[in-house]
Amino acid sequence: MALRARAMYDFSSENPGEVSVRENEILTLFSEQDIEGWLEGVNSKGERGLFPASYVEILRSDTPSTYNNNSCNTSMENFSKPSPPGFSTFSAPSQQQQQQSFQQQQPSQGSDDDWDDDWDDSSTVADEPGTVGGRYQDFEGNGPSTYRVSTSSMSRGNAQHAKSSATVSRNLNRFSTFVKSGGEAFVLGEASGFVKDGDKICVVIGQYGPEWQENPYPFSCAIDDPTKQTKFKGMKSYISYKLTPTHTQTQVNRRYKHFDWLYARLVEKFPVISVPHIPEKQATGRFEEDFISKRRKGLIWWMNHMTSHPVLARCDVFQHFLSCNSSDEKAWKQGKRKAEKDEMVGANFFLTISTPAAPLDFQEVESKIDGFKTFTKRMDDSALQLNATVNEFARKQISGFKKEYQKVGMSFKVLSQAFEMDQQPYSAGLNQAISFTGDAYEAVGEYFAEQPSKDLDPIMDLLALYQGHLANYPDIIHVQKGALTKVKESQKHVEEGKMDGAQAEGINERCNIISCATLAEIQHFHQIRVRDFKAQMQHYLQQQITFFQKITGKLEEALQKYDNA
C-alpha cells in the first residue's frame, strides 16, 4: 500500500523541484525517509516534488487518520523551512531537523540496514505507556496522539503547565526552538526535578569569561577495524566498529545505528550544547570500502569532539555507550531504557547547571552573543567557500593536473622511443634518461592524483564537522535570546505593576543560567576551533611539503640519469 501523508499547513513551492501543498491535502510519499528535512512525493494534483517534512504528518495504515487540529495560533513567523538540498547555505541540517528526521525514521522498515534492525523493535519507546511519542505529545497537553507527527513541541513541561504565570506571555509558536528546547519552560520556572550530585554541571569564570569546568578525567577513544558482521544466517549485514576508550581500556563494538541513537539522546538532552553531527546516513554502497573508510574518519572526528567536550564527555548516556559490554544485551537495554527515561533533558537540563556566584551583565552577554552570531555567519560563509575551493582543487588534481603531468611524461616517452631508432651507442644513455624522465612525470601525475586524499580530504572532513556545529548555533542562540526577551518582558511587567519583583528575579536568575551555559559553550567552541584548525593547517602544510619533496626527489632521480648519458 502506498505511503501517505496529510499536509498540516499550506506550503508554496519557491524553488525548482518543490511542489506546493494545501492544508489537509493527502500526499503520496516515495519514502518516509526525509532528505535534510524534505520529503519527496506527489500531491493531489499529481505534481511530484519536495515539500518540508515538518509540514506533513505521515499516515500509518494501522492507525485511523484522525487529525487533531490544535490550531490555536499556529503562527508561522519563526518557523524556518528547511533549505532544500542544493539551496542551503548552512548545508548541514540543524539539530532540530536531524532530531525530527530521527523520530520519523525510528519506526520505519526502510532499506537502510542501520535502521531496520531488531533491537529497537522489542524496546521502542512506544512500548511504554504514558510515554508514547516520547516528548512528542502535542503542546496543548492533549495527551498522546494516536499517530506520530513529524513535528511537535516540548512536552516534558506539561506537568508544570498549570504553574505557568499568566502575567508572562508564552510563546505560542509551536515551532520555536526556544519552546521546543525547554528554554521557555525553564525560564518561566516550570522545570523541576531532583538533581543528583553526579549530574551537576559547573560553569566557572575562566580567563575569557564563563566556561565549562574542565573534565577532571580527560580521555579519548579510538575507533578501529570497521568489519562487516552478519546475523540471521547472513540475512542481515552491518558494519561494526571497535571502540577503545582510554579510561576503560576495554573494547566495545558499536554500529552506526548506536551512534545515531546516542546522537538523538544528546540532542534531546542538551538544549544549548552544540552536539557534533554524526556522519550522514547513506542508503546504498554502505559496504563499499571507500564509504566505510570515510564514515570511520567522520566518526573519529565526531568522537574527538565528544571526548573533548567537558559536558558531553561525562554524560551518562555517552559513558553507557562507551563502556557497556557489547555482548551483555541486558545491561545494554537497561542503560538504553534509563537514557530514554532520563528526566534531566531539555528544560530540566538547565536545573543541573551551577553558575558562578556573580551574575552576568545581560547587556554584555547580548553583545557577546550578537558578536558570535556574526562570527558564525562569517565562518560559515568562509567554510563554505573553502570547502568548494578545496573540493574543486582536489578534483582538478585528480583529473586535470594528473593528466597534464602524464601527458608531458607520455610525450617524453614518445620522444625517447623515436630517438631509440638511432642505434648509435652514444645516444643510448640519453634515450634511457629521457624514457626515465617520462616515467618520472607519469609518477608525478599519479602523486597529484593521490595527494588530495592525504591533505585536502582531512580539511573537508574538518569543515563538514564545523559546518555541523555552525548549523547548531542558530538554535542555541535562539534559546538564549528567548530567555533574554523574557527578562525584558518581566522588567516591563514589574514596571507596570503586573508582576512582583521576586518572580522577575527568578526569571533573571534562570536567564543567567542559560546565558552562562551558552557563553561557556561558545568559549568551548572557540577553543576547539583554534585547536582543530591549527592542527589541521599544520597537517595540511606538512603533507604538502612532503608531497613537493617527493616530486623533487623523483625529478632529482631523473636528472641523475643524464650524468652518464
Residues that bind a copy of itself (CB under 8 A): 208, 371, 374-375, 378-379, 381-383, 385-386, 389-390, 392-393, 396, 400-401, 404, 407-408, 410-412, 414-415, 417-419, 421-422, 424, 426-427, 430, 433-434, 437, 526-527, 529-530, 533-534, 537-538, 541-542, 544-545, 548-549, 551-552, 555-556, 558-559, 562, 565
What residue type is assigned to position 26 of the chain? I
Within 8 A by CB and 6+ apart from 67, the residues are 6, 8, 24, 57
- Tell me if residue 408 falls in helix, strand or coil: helix
How buried is residue 510: exposed, middle or buried, by Cβ count under 10 Å (0-12/13-18/19+)? buried
Annotated binding-site residue? 135: no
Annotated binding-site residue? 330: no
Please say whether the beta carbons of 34 and 46 come within 8 A.
no
Please say whether the beta carbons of 354 and 200 come within 8 A.
yes
Query: Residue 143 and residue 146: Cα distance in Å, rounded?
Result: 9
The least distance separating a copy of itself from the CB of residue 434, rounded to whole angstroms, comes to: 6
The least distance separating a copy of itself from the CB of residue 560, rounded to whole angstroms, comes to: 9
Rounded to 5°, the CA angle 360-366-371 comes to 120
Nearer to a copy of itself, 440 or 494 (CB): 440
Nearer to a copy of itself, 317 or 434 (CB): 434
The least distance separating a copy of itself from the CB of residue 36, rounded to whole angstroms, comes to: 24
Nearer to a copy of itself, 262 or 558 (CB): 558
Nearer to a copy of itself, 316 or 557 (CB): 557
The least distance separating a copy of itself from the CB of residue 271, rounded to whole angstroms, comes to: 23
Query: Residue 409 and residue 431: Cα distance in Å, rounded?
Result: 14
| Phi/psi of residue 193, nearest 5 degrees | 175, 170
Nearer to a copy of itself, 316 or 420 (CB): 420
Annotated binding-site residue? 255: yes
The least distance separating a copy of itself from the CB of residue 466, rounded to whole angstroms, comes to: 10
Q: Which residue do the cell numbers 538540498 mark?
A: 85
The least distance separating a copy of itself from the CB of residue 414, rounded to whole angstroms, comes to: 5
The least distance separating a copy of itself from the CB of residue 279, rounded to whole angstroms, comes to: 23
**Distance between alpha carbon 186 and the CA centroid of its chain, in Å?**
25
Query: Residue 362 and residue 481: Cα distance in Å, rounded?
Result: 11
The least distance separating a copy of itself from the CB of residue 137, rounded to whole angstroms, comes to: 41
| Phi/psi of residue 72, nearest 5 degrees | -75, 80
The least distance separating a copy of itself from the CB of residue 393, rounded to whole angstroms, comes to: 5
Query: Residue 174 and residue 74: Cα distance in Å, rounded?
Result: 7
Strands 56-59 and 201-206: unpaired
- Tell me if residue 390 falls in helix, strand or coil: helix
Query: Residue 405 and residue 446: Cα distance in Å, rounded?
Result: 9
| Phi/psi of residue 41, nearest 5 degrees | -170, -170
Q: List the beta bridge partners of residue 202.
A: 354
Nearer to a copy of itself, 48 or 526 (CB): 526
Cα 402 to Cα 85, 87, 337, 397, distances in angstroms: 31, 32, 54, 6
Q: What is the torsional sign of CA 10, 8, 124, 283?
A: negative
Within 8 A by CB and 6+ apart from 521, the residues are 212, 272, 273, 274, 476
Nearer to a copy of itself, 163 or 378 (CB): 378
The least distance separating a copy of itself from the CB of residue 329, rounded to whole angstroms, comes to: 46
Nearer to a copy of itself, 139 or 436 (CB): 436
Nearer to a copy of itself, 17 or 209 (CB): 209
Query: Residue 464 and residue 245: Cα distance in Å, rounded?
Result: 24
Query: Residue 9 and residue 516: Cα distance in Å, rounded?
Result: 37
Please say whether the beta carbons of 537 and 382 come within 8 A.
no
The least distance separating a copy of itself from the CB of residue 127, rounded to whole angstroms, comes to: 47
Residue 543 in grid coordinates: 603533507
Q: What is the dihedral of CA 417, 418, 421, 423, to 10 degrees?
A: -70
- DSSP class per residue in 118-129: HHHHTT-GGGST
Nearer to a copy of itself, 185 or 519 (CB): 519
35: DSSP letter = B
Nearer to a copy of itself, 292 or 398 (CB): 398
Binding residues: 255, 257, 295
